[in-house]
Amino acid sequence: MLFNSFIFFIFLLIVVPLYYNLGVKHRKLLVLLSSYVFYGYWDYRFTILLAISTFVDFFIGRKLYAVDNKNIKKRLLLLSVCVNLGILGLFKYYDFFIDSFSVFAGQFNQNLDYLHLNIILPVGISFYTFQTMSYTIDIYREKLKPTNSIIDFAVFVSFFPQLVAGPIERARNLLPQIAINKLPSKEQINSGIVLIVLGLFKKVLIGDTTGRIVDQVFSQPELYKSPELLSALVLFSIQIYADFSGYSNIARGTAKLLGFELMKNFEQPYLSRNITEFWRRWHISLSSWLKDYLYITLGGNRKGNFITYLNLFITMLLGGLWHGASWNFVIWGGLHGLYLAIHKIILKKKKVELTDYVYNGFYSFSKYFLQVLLTYIIVLFAWLFFRSTDFNTSSYFIEKMIYWETSDLSVRFFKITFFFTVVTLLYDFIEYRTKQHSFIVLIRNKPLRIGILLAIFLVTLLYMFNTEPLPFIYFQF
């Protein structure tokens, strides 16, 4: 079920009070059962895949820890990776590769259409396969001890707040919490409620509302003029951020209500001063996963400059492919790989630290502003490839940006874009300054705080009641 649906809140209203009234063992079983209900709401058959992933990795994990022989360990790891990537490959990439080979085969008058399987992509498959893979890889690297409880592990794989869209958790963070399974503190409950309300606001009132325009414009760009296309692209950058970070907030908030702490997935990425900083603030759970399990596996920065740049490029290229079976995502990933490699060349040995900007006069602010703007522009350019359904759409957009044509609706489009930008930046600015995603908890006056939260929640629910929900963008990945 979608977080931005009433059925999810009814589901929460049943699960959470029940959870508070059960003992540790039963709480785990309740979370497990709820997670399977949550996932099976889309299609009950999807839960079979979830169960396969759980059993395979649980037993391989235990075996990996038990044996000393390096060759057997390698084979076991390979088996785990093959099963997980096999499921992912079959459901997500099979048809894509057949499509791509069809073009090649077409040159020799061969038709490969009969090889298409046309399988439905199970929601969030990329997220939980990566999560379970990190478990076996960490055991192989001797960074983690396997769990002895299949229930704990099944909860780790299927934990409903983060099952379909992350954050992609590491076993070393989540498994100990599942093992203890303590009830939430008062602070966690307060912060959880605030995160859910703010996340829902972001996802629904910013993400979905911008998405309605974006979807229409990108589906038939030839109907729109240059200013309208530019607005749609900017709105998409807002949509994907609000959609995903809002969803992550709801996930973290829901987990907090059950006493769990999930990692932060976003830290105001559009306030980044360079592309390296951007990737430390954007989809943090994926970028750190790619760094730990792909970039480092490829050799990281240990094999000289050229290999470092190449590794960065390959990591981002595959990161792009993780998002979806389309060459557009590959181009998007490739562009980011290129940006990061160039930035690394510019940086030489210097490290990028995540320090907050402190106002220090007009000159320093101008410099900061220009850096943020430049980073945003290159990110925006890459978003064009991410959102376009094919390369023709991307090139049409670029053509329309070069050969600019005016529109009598420019002012309306820019006005809409401006106000969405202002609200998004204001939201980020408050987060940035307070270093809190649930910044409303900082308001000491409790009735005032409740009044603010209730107003936001009420308006969001009213909007949801009157409009069809847009699915979360990352569900398709």
Partner 1 sequence: MKYLKLFFGFTLGFLITLALLELFLQSAEVNALTNAKQDKVLGSRLNPNSNFLYFNEGFSIGKVNAYGYYGPSYPRTKDANVERIALIGDSYVEGVQVFERNHFRNKLENLLNQVNNSSNSYQVLNFGRSGFNLNDSYCYYENFVKQFNPTVKLIFVSPGDLVNRGPIASRPYALLQNEDIVIDYGFSKSEKYKFKESTAAFRGKSVILGYILKTLELIRTDNYKYILFGKFSSIGEVTERKTKKERKKEILSDITKKIILKLRNQDCIFVVHTETTVNDYDYLVKDFLEFSKENKVKVINFSPLFEKLKTNNINYNYWPVTNKKGHFNERGHNEIAKLLYEMINKSKN
Phi, psi of 5 (to 5 degrees): -135, 155
Q: Which is nearer to partner 1, 370 or 448 (CB)?
A: 448
Q: Which of residues 194-223 bind partner 1 (CB under 8 A)?
A: 205, 209, 212-213, 215-216, 219-220, 223
**Please, what is the minimum distance in Å from the beta carbon of residue 465 to partner 1?**
5
Contact between 86 and partner 1 per CB under 8 A: no
Identify the residue among 52, 391, 423, 433 touching partner 1 (CB under 8 A).
Answer: 423
Q: Contact with partner 1 (CB under 8 A): which of 19, 322, 383, 420?
A: 420
Under 8 Å between Cβ of 475 and 123: yes
**Beta strands of 71-218 (E only): which ranges?**
none
Compare residues 57 and 228 and give the one whose CB is closer to partner 1.
Answer: 228
Estimate to the nearest angstrom the gap between the alpha carbon of 347 and the chain centroid. 27
Could you say whether residue 45 binds partner 1 (CB under 8 A)? no
The Cα–Cα gap between 275 and 340 comes to: 6
Regarding 459 and contact with partner 1 (CB under 8 A), the answer is yes
Instruction: Give the N- to C-terminal CA distance of the chain in Å, as an integer.
Output: 16
* SS3 of residue 193 by DSSP: helix
161, 254 Cβ separation under 8 angstroms: yes
Binding segment for partner 1 among 99-107, 126-134, 304-312, 454-462 (CB under 8 A)? 454-462
Residues 221-260 that bind partner 1 (CB under 8 A): 223
Q: Closer to partner 1 by CB, 12 or 168: give it.
A: 12
Kindly state whether residue 416 participates in binding partner 1, applying the rule CB under 8 A. yes
- With respect to partner 1, which residue has the nearer C-beta, 163 or 341? 163
Task: Give the interface size with partner 1 as a residue count (CB under 8 A).
Answer: 40
- State yes or no: residue 41 binds partner 1 (CB under 8 A): yes
Between CA 464 and CA 459 the distance in angstroms is 9
Cα separation, 450 vs 381, in Å, equals 40
Structure tokens at 208: 């979905």
354 binding partner 1? (CB under 8 A): no
Q: Which is nearer to partner 1, 130 or 218 (CB)?
A: 218
Helix (H, G, I), strand (E, B) or coil at 170: coil
475 touches partner 1 by CB under 8 A: no
- Distance from C-alpha of 268 to C-alpha of 376, rounded to nearest angstrom: 12
Q: Output the six-digit token pair for 379.
A: 């990110």
How far apart CA 278 and CA 268 sit, in angstroms, is 9
CB closer to partner 1, 70 vs 446: 446
Q: Which residues have a catalytic role annotated?
A: 323
Using CB under 8 A as the binding rule, whether residue 449 contacts partner 1 is answered as: yes
21 or 220: CB nearest partner 1: 220
Nearest to 195 by CA among 210, 211, 209, 184: 184
Query: Does 452 sit near partner 1 (CB under 8 A)?
Result: yes
Tell me which stretch binds partner 1 (CB under 8 A): 82-90, 269-277, 345-353, 462-470: 462-470
- Do residues 309 and 341 make contact, with C-beta atoms less than 8 angstroms apart? yes
Cα separation, 118 vs 282, in Å, equals 32
Rounded CA separation 104/98 (Å): 10
Is residue 438 a contact point for partner 1 (CB under 8 A)? no
Closest CB 407 distance from partner 1, rounded Å:
9
Q: Which span (31-39, 86-94, 310-318, 443-451) binds partner 1, by CB under 8 A?
A: 443-451
- CB of 408 vs partner 1, minimal distance in Å: 8
State residue 466 phi and psi, 5-degree precision: -95, -5
At 41, which amino acid appears?
Y
- For the bound state, the minimum distance from the C-beta of residue 154 to partner 1, rounded and expressed in Å, comes to 24
Under the binding rule (CB under 8 A), the answer on residue 5 touching partner 1 is yes
**Closest CB 7 distance from partner 1, rounded Å:** 4
Nearer to partner 1, 78 or 450 (CB): 450
- Contact between 206 and 423 (Cβ < 8 Å): yes
Of 1-9, 25-33, 239-247, 262-270, the segment contacting partner 1 by CB under 8 A is: 1-9
- Contacts of residue 98, defined as CB under 8 A and 6 or more positions apart, other chains included, come to 112, 115, 116
CA atoms of 117 and 123, how far apart (whole Å):
17
Distance between CA atoms of residues 143 and 138, nearest Å: 5
- The stretch among 85-93, 275-283, 409-417, 430-438 that binds partner 1 (CB under 8 A) is 409-417
User: Of the two residues 138 and 431, which places its CB atom closer to partner 1 in the complex?
Assistant: 431
Is residue 141 a contact residue for partner 1 (CB under 8 A)? no
Distance CA 100, CA 304 (A): 34
Angle between the 171-180 and 125-140 helix axes, to the nearest 10 degrees?
90
Q: Near partner 1 by CB under 8 A, which window of 272-280, 327-335, 354-362, 406-414?
A: 406-414
User: Which of 97, 131, 115 has the alpha carbon at shortest distance from 325?
Assistant: 97
Angle 325-326-328 from CA coordinates, rounded to 5°: 145
* Contact flag: residue 3 with partner 1 (CB under 8 A): no
Region of 106-114, 239-247, 376-384, 456-464 interacting with partner 1 (CB under 8 A): 456-464
**Residues at the site binding partner 1, with contacts judged by CB under 8 A:** 1, 5-7, 10, 41, 205, 209, 212-213, 215-216, 219-220, 223, 409, 412-413, 415-416, 419-420, 423, 445-452, 454-456, 459, 462-466
